[in-house]
Each structure stands twice: as structure tokens, then as C-alpha cells.
Structure 1
Amino acid sequence: MSATWASSAYSAGTAQVAEHFHVSKQVSTLGTTIFLLGFGIGPLLWAPLSEVYGRRLAVLIPMFIAISFSFGSATAKDFQTLMLTRFFGALFSSAPVTNTGGVLGDLFSPSERGIAMAGYAMAVVGGPVLGPIVSAAVVQEPSLGWRWAEYLTGIVQVIFLTLAVIFVDESYPPRLLVYKARRLRHETGNWALHAKFEEWDVSIKELAKKFLVRPIQLLSTPICFLVALYASFCYGILYMQLGAIPIIFGEIKGWNLLVSELPFLCIFIGAVLGCGANVYNQLLYNKAYHAAGNRAVPEKRLPPMMMGSFIFCGGQFLTGWTAQKDTHWIVPCVGLVLLGTGFFTIFQAALNYLVDTFQAYAASAIAANTFLRSCFAAAFPLVVTPMYHNIGIWKED
């Protein structure tokens, strides 16, 4: 959650960044776009490495480096430095977002994974919708400003990293067997004991061929590509709200910076409702799972996505058609609740489907999905402001 928080917390301070570094507000929005580009590239590295060196190291080390770049963003002396620290901060902070799907695949059977995945998806959605609200409260305080929004991001990441160091253990089965073999060698004195995973001598060439290319290979399959494409488009729409909500409630309705960011809570409420729908679908999935001889049934993950696709579109239409000054604020907020509900059901169904389909390579499948969705999310915030101003909100939505 701290990683996705960092992706959106910057958005509330774009006006101050533009004023401070003497660039246009549109240019200052690049901070979000560049962050999401780094967020898309990082998984292509961290997911394969987690399947070689284990999940824990592939999360904790990059997260520590990401914290350094978060504080670097807060102390940036010029705009170029800010953009560089945002990019590399995203590159390293994408590790926990990517590898969590693999961890859940390691720890939970398909009959339990849906509920566990709901918690992961809530964190992925909760960061982008809660980050702008908290950062807006910080940014509008004259004694703090946009730099403290970045400091706060770093502090949040430090807290989560500390908890991870204390409570998170290795979960990747081949790596656990390596640890077990090592322990048995010392206990028994039989130095011939070893895990099969230790027989593989990692070379850079083989690592690149077998692991770094794997997410791209999975993305080239129709199953992974089509599911990831639809989920990524919806994810881009979610990040479009970083620019849309301040325009609707700030520019049109005249609310101040903090209050105009509060409608993001409507998306979060919708995500909670969508989470309930996915938990209910898990109960239905369990029947199919047991009927199939305790084997994963990926297609049974898709009914929430089918339902959510209509709710997602309905929320967009309702928000767009009621975003006038004389319309009561509750109506577009209801649209945002529907948007959040639809998005969450689509997003979690896609994650569950990919993990069930590519079980042994779940982290790489999630990495492929993260790469594609970050590309969409990077582009949408950059174009939303000119589109809304030139086309109109009701036409665009």
C-alpha cells in the first residue's frame, strides 16, 4: 500500500511543484507519469529475481532503496532531480506490489486464495485513493507544502518496511527447501544433502533468458494479454480520477483543495463493496474447486468481472452526466462508488485468474499485468486535464 500511496500522493502538490520550479502544471504532472513508468518497468526485474533468490530479499532490499529515493524527492533542488528520484523510487517500490501475488500463491490454496487476494487488492486500490486526500491536507498547510507530502510518503514506507522486516518470512517453496537442506547439513554432518534448486548455477545469460524475459513471454499469450489488457484499461481509468476529481469538485463546484480530494473516499467505499462481492464469489468458487478434485478452476474467477464491467461503465456515465455545478454533489459521488465497485471486482478477478492459470509463475504473470497496467496509468493522468477542459467532462466520461 505504501508503494501505491507514493504513486498518487504527489498529485495534490502538482500546482505547488509547478510554481516552485517555474514549469507549467501540465509539465509538473509528469511526476505521476514518470513514477508509473518506473512502476511498470520494475516488475520485469523483481518478479523473476523473487523466483531465483526468494520473495523476501526481492522485496526488502528494493523497498529500502525506494525509501532513499522518496526522501530524495522531498529534498530535490531542481525539477530534473525530482523526476529522476520519482522514477527510481517507483522502480524499486514496485517490488512489494509485484511479489505479493507470488507470496499469496505460495501460502494459500485456490480455495483460500480469493479472500487473501482481496486484502492485497484493497491495498493496491487503497493507496491511490487515500494518498491524494492525506497529501492534500499536508500541501494546503502553508508551513508544510509539497515537500512534506514526499517526506510523509517516505515515513509511511519506513513504517511498512520495519513491519515487513519483523513479520515477513520467506515463502517461496524452492528457496525454503534450500534453507532446510542447509540446516540438515549442519545438523547431520552429511554434506551431500542438498535441494534440487541448489543444482542450478545462475549465470547472467541464463537468468536473463529464463527469468527476465518470462513476464514478456507470458504477456504474449492470449490468456495473459487479454485479461491484463482489460484490467489495465480499467486501472488507467482509476488513475484518470487523479485529474478528474479535482476538476469536477474543485474547478466546477468550487471546493477547496482538501475537500475536493475527499470524493476519492467514494472510490474506496466502492472498493469495499466490490471486495464483499469477490469474497462471496470465493464461496461459489470453492464448490467448483472441490468438484474438480481440488484443482484450480480459473474460469470460475471471472463472474465478478462480468458483473463489474457493467457497474464500472455505469459509474462513469453517472459521474460524467451529473458533473455540473447545479447538480447535488452526492450524485457524482454515487457514480464514483459504482466506479470503485466495478473496478475492484474487475481488478481482483483478473489477479485471481492469472494466479490460478500460471500457478508456478504467478509472480511473473502479476509482473506482466503490472507492467501493462502501469503503462495505461502513466498516460491517463497526463492527458485528462486538457481532455476535460477541451472536450467537456460529460462527453469524455
Structure 2
Amino acid sequence: MNMDIESKAAVEETLIDFDGSDDPYNPLNWPMKRKLVVTLLYSLCTLGTMFNSSVYNSGIIQIEHQFGIGTEAALLGLSLYLLGMGFGPILWAPMSEAYGRKPAVLIPISGLMLFTFATATAKDLQTIFITRFFAGMFGSAPLTNVGGVLADIWPASQRGAAMLTWGLGVMTGPMIAPIVGGALVVNLPQTGWRWTEYTTGIIIAVSLILSVIFIDESYPPVLLARKASKIRFETQNWAIRSKSQEAGTSIPEMARKYLIVPVEMFIDPICFFINLYGAFVYAIVYLTLAVLPVEFQQVRGWNELVGSLPFLSIIVGTLFAAGVLFWGQIHYVKVMKANEGKPVAEARLLPMMIGSFFFPAGLFIMAWTSDRDVHWIGFCFGLLLLGLGFFTIFQSAVSYLVDTYLMLAASALAANMFMRSVLAAAFPLIAKSLFGNLGLDWGLSLLAFISLAMIPIPFLFHLYGKRIRAVGKRSKVSFIP
């Protein structure tokens, strides 16, 4: 017995961990200024990725004329980018565990920059489509890993506000891009579409340089592995190691976590329905990239720049949603305190419950104010409600998944990203058939009716989510009573 106790003590002495809860080396204990810089720079990287996803659409007409193709073929540049974003997590999520968050975001961002410039210089359609797909794959890195960064450096009571900052980059990027792209296309009628890509590449390059200089590694297992390696060489005690070095990051383990587990997540009731709802509203936002040119350029006769300004309505709606989400964070903290400081995942759903009504309301208003004889302000008000509904639903879905699955959150978010990327890639391609056959009024109404049918989802999980989490195959692994 004494031998066992001595052996256990010897093992613990060689196992490196943080020096108590106040260790400044622990990312949770970083100074506030350092946390804010990391959060803002990663949000800027995310904004660049999302900006790139939609800026391409501003030059669709020029691409059609230059290469002699139809709208559906030209839209493949958007869809392939979004599809690439669905496959990226397979690479970047394991990379973050093996090498840390910083290289797993910034190395792919370098690839995104290179493929963006490659699209700008493309001489044929094949090159455009190939480079757009790989740009999306590389650009998915911040969407895959920044959520983990925020979990590394912010405690649960503050994480909602940090997620909100990052989420604004996710949302505003694709909405600002058409306005910038429209200005370039109007002023450069022959080469404007190329300059949408050049401009995006420059934005990404600036964010990359700043991030390389000012961002520090935040993944605790990697930090502890570095600490253990340093002590090992200084003391010449080769038994010293960290828990992550003890566990290892084998290829079979990575494959299980980022391929098999995310697939299994699709049949987990919480993950499936929350992902389905989040993916649907995400895809609708990308469908508006195809709807707005029809409404404001074809129906109302505005030019590319003026016709892109209504995207500002969605951004305004996003800002209102930020207020709802911030209030939701205050509510979440109160519930957590009442639960003896333990997180309550269902408390994340209150903003989603509110947004679930605004989202279909926005679609219905857009549908029935799309006629040329109706003042354009009505359609823009619908866009505002759409933005408010989308951002509250999307952010609540991500936060709820993180709180529900905790250590399996990366797998849940990988499933989330794949589902929403596939839907977002498909929706713009069906836009012409949908609205060509039904018109904007009934086409948008159809989508509104589908979103109405999804309203019960957050309410059901708010009522029964705790019980479902306790018995779910994957959620019970991280269940906190």
C-alpha cells in the first residue's frame, strides 16, 4: 500500500499543471486588455472570412458577361466557398488540439489570403471555382476554432459578451461586403469583380499581420506541454510531462473526435434540431444575397451600389439583436448564480425564443412589400427584423451547444458548421427557380411558413432540455445537474 502511495506521489510530482487557480500563465487569468486584444483580432479574422464569402456576389453580372455563363453557374463561386467552409473543420479542429489555437487559425488564414488573390487573378472559370472552394476551406478556421479560444480565456459568466463580439464579425462581414463590392463594380465596370477579391485579400493580410504580432497562444494543454518541455530540459528530468503529452493526440483519436463523433451528433436530438434551426436561418441570410439584387436592381431599377445599401438594414437589426443577446447574458448570469454557480444551458435559449418570432415576421414583411408600387422602406424594415431574428437565433444556438456538450463542443460545432455550410451553399442556387416560379412574394412566404414551424424548437428545449441532456448519448457525458 505504501509503495502504491509513493508511486502515485512520484507521478503527480512529474505531472505539470497550472500553479493554482491564480496562475497568470492560465489564459483565464490573463489581464483584461490582453483578452480584449485577442478577442478583437480573432473577430477581425472572422470578419475577413465572412466578408470574402459574399463580396464575390457583387461582381456576378461582370463574371457572367466576361465568361459567357448564366447566373446559376456564376453563383457556384459563392456556393463552393460555403461548401469549402463545411469541410474545413475536419482539418483545423484537430490541428488546434495538436499545435494550439494560434497556428490553427493563422496558418489557414494565410492560405485564405493566397487563394483570394488567386481568384482575383484567375483567367478562367475553373480557376475561380477551385480557388473559391479552397478559400472557403482555409477560411473556415476562425469559425472552427475561435469559439474554443473564447472558452480558453473567458469564464462562463463573461463568455457570452465575448461570443457576441465575435458573432458581430460573423454577421456584419457578409452584409458589409456587398456594399463595398457594389462601389467597386460601379466605379470599375470591367474589372470591378477582380478588385472585390484584391480588396478582400488586403483586408485579410492586414488582420493576419496584426494577429501574428499581438495574439498569444491560449490553448491550455498546449501551454502546459510547452511548460513541461521547458522544465524537462532545464532539470534533465525526462519523466516530467503534461496531461496532454500523457494522453497524446493520435490520428485514430483525432479521426474519432472530428469525423465519427460529429456524424453521431446528427442523431443526437439536441444537436440535430438546434443545428437544423441555426443552419436554416443562416442559409436564409445567404439567400438574401440573391434576393436583394432581384428586388432592388431588377424590380426597382437601382444600380449595384445603391441596390446593395439595404444590406445596412440587416446590420441595424443585428445591432438590436446584440442588445437582446446582452440582456440574455445578464439573465444567464442570474440563473447561474441561483444554481450555485453552475452553468444552466437552457438559460442561453431566451434570446432565441424572442428571435424565433422576429425571423418569420421579417420574411413575411419582405414578401408582401416586394412589389415595385410599395415603398422600399417596408422591405428594409423586413430585412431589419430578419437580421434581429437571425443573430439572436444563431448566437444562442452556438452558445447552447457549447454549454450542452462542453468537452465535446468542438464536435458539436463541427456538425453545426457542416450542416449550415451545406444549406447555405444550396440555397442561393435554388433562388432563381424558387422566385422565378413563385415570385418574391410567395417564395419568401414559403420560407416564412417553414420558419414558423420551427418556432417551438427553443421553447421545447427550454422546458425539457435538461431532461434530454441527462439521457442523451453524447450530452450526458458533459451533463451538469
Shorter chain as denominator, the TM-score bin is over 0.9
Give distance in 1, aligned partners of 2:377 and 2:410.
Answer: 40
Change (3 A) 1:213 1:162: farther
Change (3 A) 1:24 1:33: same
The answer as to whether partners of 1:105 and 1:359 remain within 8 angstroms in 2 is no
When the two structures are superposed, what TM-score results if normalisation uses the length of structure 2? 0.80
Which structure has the higher relative contact order (CA within 8 Å, separation 6+)? 1
The answer as to whether partners of 1:298 and 1:357 remain within 8 angstroms in 2 is yes
Alignment of 1:27-66 (within 5 A): 27-66=73-112
Is structure 2 residue 125 aligned with structure 1 residue 107?
no
The answer as to whether partners of 1:55 and 1:170 remain within 8 angstroms in 2 is yes
Query: Match for residue 360 of structure 1?
Result: 407
Secondary structure, aligned partner of 1:338:
helix
Query: Match for residue 134 of structure 1?
Result: 180
Q: How far off its partner does 1:286 sit?
A: 0.4
| Larger displacement relative to structure 2 (376-385 or 197-206) | 197-206
Q: How far off its partner does 1:201 sit?
A: 4.2
| Larger displacement relative to structure 2 (322-331 or 258-267) | 322-331
Query: Match for residue 243 of structure 1?
Result: 290
Which of these two proteins has the greater Rg computed from alpha carbons?
Answer: 2
The answer as to whether partners of 1:105 and 1:362 remain within 8 angstroms in 2 is no
Specify which of 135, 160, 178 is matched with residue 89 of structure 1: 135
Specify which of 299, 313, 325 is matched with residue 278 of structure 1: 325
Secondary structure, aligned partner of 1:286:
helix
Q: How far off its partner does 1:36 sit?
A: 0.6
Specify which of 178, 188, 193 is matched with residue 146 of structure 1: 193
- The one-letter code of the counterpart of 2:72 is Q
Is structure 2 residue 121 aligned with structure 1 residue 75?
yes
The answer as to whether partners of 1:48 and 1:363 remain within 8 angstroms in 2 is no
Query: Match for residue 451 of structure 2?
Result: none
- Structure 1: 5+ residue runs without aligned partners? none
Query: Match for residue 296 of structure 1?
Result: 343
Give distance in 1, aligned partners of 2:220 and 2:317.
Answer: 36
User: Aligned-pair RMSD on alpha carbons?
Assistant: 1.4
The answer as to whether partners of 1:43 and 1:368 remain within 8 angstroms in 2 is no
Figure out how many residues of one structure are paired with residues of the other and give that number: 397
Secondary structure, aligned partner of 1:358:
helix
- Structure 2: 5+ residue runs without aligned partners? 1-46, 445-481
The answer as to whether partners of 2:257 and 2:411 remain within 8 angstroms in 1 is no
Q: How far off its partner does 1:49 sit?
A: 2.5
Q: Deviations over 1:279-323 (max 9, x none)?
A: 011111101111212211110111111110110110110111011
Query: Match for residue 11 of structure 2?
Result: none
- The one-letter code of the counterpart of 1:138 is L
Is structure 2 residue 203 aligned with structure 1 residue 156?
yes
Moved >4 Å (runs of 4+): none
Is structure 2 residue 170 aligned with structure 1 residue 121?
no
- The one-letter code of the counterpart of 1:29 is L
When the two structures are superposed, what TM-score results if normalisation uses the length of structure 1? 0.97
Give distance in 1, aligned partners of 2:92 and 2:67.
Answer: 33
The answer as to whether partners of 2:365 and 2:379 remain within 8 angstroms in 1 is yes
